[in-house]
Amino acid sequence: MFLTEKKALNEIDEAIKKYKKVGIIGCASCASVCLTGGSKEVKEMEKHLKAFGKEVTFTISIDEPCDKRVLKEDIRFVEDEVEDTEAVVVLSCGTGVQTIGEFIGKKVIAGTNSKYIAQTEHIGEYNALCAGCDECRLNFTGGVCTVTLCPKGLLNGPCEGHNGINCEVFEDKECVFVKSYDLLTKYSEEENLNKIFEPRDYGYSTTRTKI
């Protein structure tokens, strides 16, 4: 799931102030799970925009607004209303916002801040485990991602700042390299304990707009 958080309403109000006729599109997938773009949040946004003096032309929740195929199918239900709309508040991650903007050719206003790929512990409690770094090293680390779980994103062992157990930055959390060491020892993967990773190739992430 991709985690989002609600933007402050005054930021949305500022972005939308010059538009009168406004639509709202929610995301029934990730944003719905993290309570930022489901049908309840769409209704709340509708209420807010009306109170702010806007004419809400339509509201809709789309299963996956980041998927052009799904978007194309679902947007047909509000085709005429979109035509009559000046701007659309989108309650999804940045990918959804941009996909919708490109597709409808209208001003889109992001209603959320995009955070990270998240594991859901409970609703409202999430963990970042994967940074989408392009070169997955989990097979060599005992299955824990040092790029994500080490605040410095190190590859080849802990920094000089840990205290033997816990992370220098998040002092209540175990250093991921200590955890990785324990897991590799448990799985008897001695060859991976001594592996030296090459510096990351950031060229991948710069050119990943198309895969």
Indicate whether 163 belongs to the interface with other proteins (CB under 8 A): yes
Contact between residue 103 and residue 40 where contact means Cβ atoms under 8 Å apart:
no
Q: How far is the CB of 168 from other proteins (least distance, A)?
A: 7
3-class DSSP assignment, residue 128? strand
Binding flag, residue 174, other proteins (CB under 8 A)? no
> Between residues 191 and 210, which has the closer beta carbon with respect to other proteins?
191
Q: With CB under 8 A as the contact rule, which of the stretches 41-49, 60-68, 71-79, 168-176 interacts with other proteins?
A: 168-176
Identify the sign of the CA torsion 95, 14, 60, 104. negative
Q: What dihedral do alpha carbons 131, 137, 141, 147 form, nearest 10°? A: -30
Site for other proteins in 82-111 (CB under 8 A): none
How many CB atoms within 10 Å of residue 25? 29
Please identify which residue in 94, 107, 200, 205 interacts with other proteins, judged by CB under 8 A: 200
Q: How many residues bind other proteins (CB under 8 A)?
A: 30
Of 35 and 130, nearer to other proteins (C-beta) is 130
Instruction: Candidates 51-59, 62-70, 106-114, 172-180: pick the segment binding other proteins (CB under 8 A).
Output: 172-180
The minimum distance between CB 149 and other proteins, in angstroms, equals 13
The arrangement of strands across the sheet holding 107-110 comes to 55-62, 21-27, 87-91, 107-110
Which residues are bridge partners to 6 per DSSP? 112
How far apart are alpha carbons 63 and 60 in whole angstroms?
A: 10
Residues 6+ apart with CB under 8 A from 164: 178
Query: Which x/- pattern over 143-162 shows residues binding other proteins (rule: CB under 8 A)?
Result: --------xxxxxxxxxxxx
Q: Which of 48, 181, 189, 205 binds other proteins (CB under 8 A)?
A: 181
Task: List interacting residues with other proteins (CB under 8 A).
Answer: 151-165, 168-169, 175, 177-178, 180-181, 193-194, 196-200, 202
